[in-house]
A and B are shown apart, each in its own frame.
Chain A
Amino acid sequence: MIELIHTYWLYFLVGQFPDGPLGGLALTVLLAALALALALPVGLVLGLARVSALRAIRWPVSALVHVVRGIPLLMVIFWAYFFLPSVTGHKTEQFSTMLIALVVFDGVYLAEIVRAGIRGVPRGQFEAARALGLGYGRAMRRVVLPQALRSMLPSLVNQFVATIKETSLGYIIGLTEVSFIAAQINTQVFTHATQVYLLLGLTYFILCFGLSRLAVLAERRLGRRVPPRSVRSPGSPTPTATPTA
């Protein structure tokens, strides 16, 4: 196994870079980060539409969310892979295909996280903001969303872990991310399939487990300053507050 790592570690990490396109683990992380960054605004808009008071906005977006959540990510990738070229007119390469599929898919899942975050803020907060004369947009932006986003932070880190795992599907459309590179190494070495795929699993594990620990840490830190869940009598201590270490 040591020999395997010694020969292929660079290929595994960055693919053919710098002599060729970037690949391997670097591409996996880049794709996941880019997908999540682009999916965030999409998720925010869709999430706001899901809690909108207007049916004309809420219903079509709810339908979209239900459809995308009802089909596998692979289906979304296939649609993107075969239909983006007919829309844009030229052949799209694997990276942008995968990126677009991930942004659509994650956007919809993030919309549900945003929606739950907004629902988690007590309604009185929004009503108080409106009573103070703020419009709908400003009440959302200045009062509700800042509180909602705080409670969403752990879910966002978990979503990043999920996105990293989702990028492995790029293998199917021939994107040279880390799973694809592992399969390439496997065909070159040929006799050490068990070790190659164990190493692949171990790599994902270190990356994803490390990140999920980060989510737990974020949750703990947020636990100290929980936004008020309900109206309490003034002066009563926050029951959920833990003593600072």
Chain B
Amino acid sequence: MPHFDSALLLRGQYHDWLLTGLHLSLALWATAFVFALPLAIIVALLRLAPSRALRALGTCYVEGIRNVPLLAHLLFWYFGAPELLPDSLKEWLYAGNFEFVAGAIALTLYTAAYMAEDIRSGMRAIPAVQFEAGRALGFGFLGTTRRVVLPQALRVTVPPLISQTLNLWKDTSIATVIGVAEMMYQAARVESASFRSAEAFAFVTAAYLTVSLLITAVAAWVHHRWPVRTL
């Protein structure tokens, strides 16, 4: 094996490519997270709603998304979904930065299904009497949920949600299949341009690992700072 050329990673064109990739990976991660969290709360509420039809809708969403691999979601949103649109709109989409948008949509929907389950089990961990007391005091379903149940449920929910955030970070790598120029894509690009696979992969591995360990550290800190209270 040729010697490890670390200078390649510290300056020059390949360094810039890899950094651009890291930047885009982080952007994809942040975008998907910002949209996934509110969607997950909505889906979790659907799963716990008093109406049977709404509950079924929530279940269909969660099971339908979770039982299909992310790769198939990405392929569908990038190649499949635009087929339904008129031709002019389709051309406009593919001319722009559509791979990022499709990647963000797929990652958002996928992560939201997992987060929704975490939020749901967090809310179910709150004793039903809390909900009943809220209702008895005259709050509606949404009022009780927002003022009584959710504030307590969030404490239980935050640790698993952080772990979903970590999964989301790792999942952004799969967006490379539809040509999102994130870190994995740039690593392959450096590899094919320079045949320096060891250097490129070492950089990307270190970058993934650093962010993952930071997320784990945040989780540990949250667990220490706001321990889960048991009633």
Q: Which residues of A are in contact with B by a Cβ distance under 8 Å?
A: 66-67, 69-75, 78-79, 82-83, 86, 161, 164-166, 168-169, 171-172, 179, 182-183, 186, 191-198, 200-201, 204-205, 207-209, 212
Contacts and interface: CB of A to CB of B under 8 A. Distances in A.
Nearest to B71: A168
A196 B80 contact: yes
Contacts, number: 107
A194 B81 contact: yes
B191 A197 contact: no
Interface in B174-231: 174, 176-177, 184, 187-188, 191, 197-198, 201, 204-205, 208-209, 212-213, 216
B80 A193 contact: yes
Which applies to chain A's interface (DSSP): helix, strand, loop or mixed? helix
B187 A78 contact: yes
B84 interface: yes
- Closest 9 A/B residue pairs (Cβ): A70-B212, A197-B80, A165-B69, A208-B67, A72-B173, A168-B69, A72-B170, A168-B71, A197-B76
Contact of B171 (A66, A72, A78, A186): A72
Interface residues of B, number: 39
B26 to A, nearest CB: 14
Contacts of A204: 67-69, 72
Given A72-B171, A172-B177, A196-B80, A79 B72 contact: no
Interface in B63-83: 63-64, 67-73, 75-76, 79-83
A70 B208 contact: yes
A235 to B, nearest CB: 30
Nearest to A172: B177
6 contacts: A74-B173, A78-B187, A171-B177, A172-B176, A197-B72, A197-B80
Contacts of B76: 194, 197-198, 200-201
Contact of A179 (B69, B83, B184): B69
Interface of B: 1, 63-64, 67-73, 75-76, 79-84, 170-174, 176-177, 184, 187-188, 191, 197-198, 201, 204-205, 208-209, 212-213, 216
Given A72-B170, A86-B1, A212 B71 contact: no
A208 B201 contact: no
Contacts of A191: 83
A166 B69 contact: yes
Contacts of B184: 72, 74-75, 78
B79 A186 contact: yes
Contacts of A75: 173, 184, 201, 204-205, 208
A114 B173 CA distance: 28
B209 A71 contact: yes
A74 B174 contact: yes
B67 A209 contact: yes
A70 B209 CA distance: 5
B80 A179 contact: no
A179 B68 contact: no
A193 B67 CA distance: 20
B171 A201 contact: no
A144 to B, nearest CB: 27
Contacts of B67: 161, 204-205, 207-209, 212
A194 B68 contact: no
B203 to A, nearest CB: 11
Nearest to B170: A72
B208 to A, nearest CB: 5
Contacts of A197: 72, 75-76, 79-80
